[in-house]
Chain A
């Protein structure tokens, strides 16, 4: 056990350095953005302060940031766990979508009179199973025919989107929706409660999904740092051949890592379905799968860095509304800001890595 603990990755140090790089990169990115804003003839000061007001000062701002961050955290964890074993899960969007499908199937299987405390976990289980199956397909293809899991998981996303489109246009279509392809709304007992009693964050749409995300994050933190499974995943990620020669069940580890990632992505679908939309519909996975991938890689798959990264991304998204509404900038400016921040973070990290090497 002592040996294990010594080998345990000292993530806090990495995290500390990452935080510093994130912080300085945010400042550099914002400065670059200010030049862009000035170039299109708007006041950069007003633009940035409008973002700040929307995300932080506005009474519902902080809550909205967490509403946005919850699925990003889960989608990022879905990338981080397989990444520990050296695997690329690019199928977040599809697994989130299948999570929505799984939760809706679970909703159809239980009586609508069932109380929330029993119904919601059942929907979550349905979502996790469906997400795990979807990611599991890529894992099985990887260990059986050595098909690259990055490609298969990415392509499976398109299949998942079609599956949901079919369901909401056909068997599940709500006759009351006047042509909008979406399923019938879930009963109130199957929707996540609002956290409107919370100070600072309450009052808006903040729902219990952020608690699901934080709980999942805690479980992943524990599993990756304190369990033999988490340790073995890192060994496989470090050198799969060495792991195999050391007698580790590599195939089994690959499959379980992908299943765990898929299950957590499925939970992101559960959170969006039961906390935000209340009914299955196309496009519900949004860009969360993509953002989760970015956040996980920027945070080096560290759960705590993922938490911070997801909140930053949520803040940028919520603040981005204000760029249009308050400052009158075009809608695309938020993408420019996000791109500048990413480049700045990657640039800082590249330099740091070069210095270390």
Chain B
């Protein structure tokens, strides 16, 4: 194209073009905006109108069919809605852990949401920011710890994930022939470190020679990195693989193909590994979601146990994180041992001294047991875990 060709520009032509464009856009907009008045009208009347459903928003970091964390939370939301009946769910999946989630929460609020469940760890500060802006909306964050002093309309909740993980560790410790277990972890946060430690302690309780090799992927769900880590661990003679990832499909399928055992997390994925599946842990969020929503909608959230950092487990008797069914590789003796350990855990807890970290330094003295709050601050890996916390 030569410059002279391009000088065919005249003001008239631009005006004509702009006019045509405006007309086209107006048409598109008019078409798109048609149903507008009715729809926004119905949102404005809100829950006050009789028969109107109350809106509750759920936000997930990954897809809601990931055989993992997000699917478990999604199914929990559906269970709560089915239980309560008069609830309309607003769902948003695959929302990254950045400030964009504020926009998603704001959109849900402007759609009339009265309770929000931002369910990923990295949503915490954005969830707190949105809660501060909207005192009339209850925001509950899954898995984080509230900044102190907390807002009256904000709280966090979680199960004690490491308890069923400890029990699964027993199954793994019994099943391994090489005495090498593998743990593929997303980020080195207290929650994940506690799980790795619990798994190793569980395995060691039945098999003193068992070690757990840990790999961090720096992503909640990156199937490429997961496959890489799983293959690397298997080549190092690891014969039981488990994980702290949001999506669990890749690792379990990789383990099954390689003929090694797998332990699930977040969701019952035993259908993916009919041979190698040992057991796992999974969420049963429905009852807790139902109770949180009921508490919030009755106006009783402020001052309730949920208005803070709400944690339950075996010791309180209502852990939403439960054991998955056993696979064919777990014998009855092991099952009995796990039952015994479960009863003991409800009594004593897992992180009971003396506990040494990887360097051999004593981190929990004899006679002391870490409380749920203390476990939330965990920053070490116990003796027997191979691999370092990334610095």
Contact = CB atoms under 8 A, between A and B. Distances in A.
Interface of A: 6-7, 9-10, 12-17, 19-20, 22-24, 26-27, 30, 45-46, 48-54, 57-60, 64, 67, 165, 169-170, 178-181, 204-205, 276-277, 281-284, 286, 318, 321-322, 324-326, 328, 330-332, 356
B187 A64 contact: no
Given A13-B9, A179-B188, A46 B107 contact: no
B8 A13 contact: yes
B25 A178 contact: no
Interface of B: 1, 3, 6-9, 13-14, 17-18, 20-21, 24-25, 27-29, 31-36, 39-40, 57, 63, 90-100, 102-104, 106-108, 110-111, 121-122, 124, 144-145, 187-192, 218, 390-391
Contacts of A54: 107
Contacts of B102: 205
A258 B182 CA distance: 46
B25 A26 contact: yes
Given A13-B9, A16-B18, A165-B218, A30 B32 contact: yes
Contacts of B3: 6-7, 9-10
Nearest to A26: B28
Contact of A9 (B6, B98, B145): B6
B98 A284 contact: yes
Q: Is the interface of B mostly helix, strand, loop or mixed?
A: helix
B187 A180 contact: yes
Nearest to A48: B32
Nearest to B93: A331
Query: Could you say which of B99, B108, B188 has the most chain A C-beta atoms within 10 Å of its C-beta?
Result: B99
Given A13-B13, A165-B218, A180-B121, A20 B187 contact: no
Nearest to A324: B92
Contacts of B188: 179
Nearest to B25: A23
B9 A16 contact: yes
Nearest to A318: B103
A226 B188 CA distance: 53
Contacts of A7: 3
Contact of B106 (A50, A60, A324, A332): A60
A123 B237 CA distance: 50
B32 A51 contact: yes
B91 A178 contact: no
Given A13-B8, A179-B190, A20 B110 contact: no
A180 B27 contact: no
A299 to B, nearest CB: 14
B34 A324 contact: no
A245 B97 CA distance: 52
Nearest to B389: A179
Contact of A331 (B40, B94, B191): B94
B343 to A, nearest CB: 32
Given A23-B21, A325-B107, A331 B98 contact: no
A179 B91 contact: no
B93 A324 contact: yes
Contacts of B1: 356
Contacts of A283: 96-98
Contacts of B39: 46, 49-50, 53
A191 B35 CA distance: 40
Contact of A45 (B34, B63, B90, B110): B34
B104 A325 contact: yes
B187 A179 contact: yes
A288 to B, nearest CB: 11
A345 to B, nearest CB: 13
A15 B14 CA distance: 8
Q: Give the 6 A-B residue pairs with the shortest CB-CB distance, closest first.
A: A179-B189, A13-B9, A16-B17, A331-B94, A23-B21, A48-B32
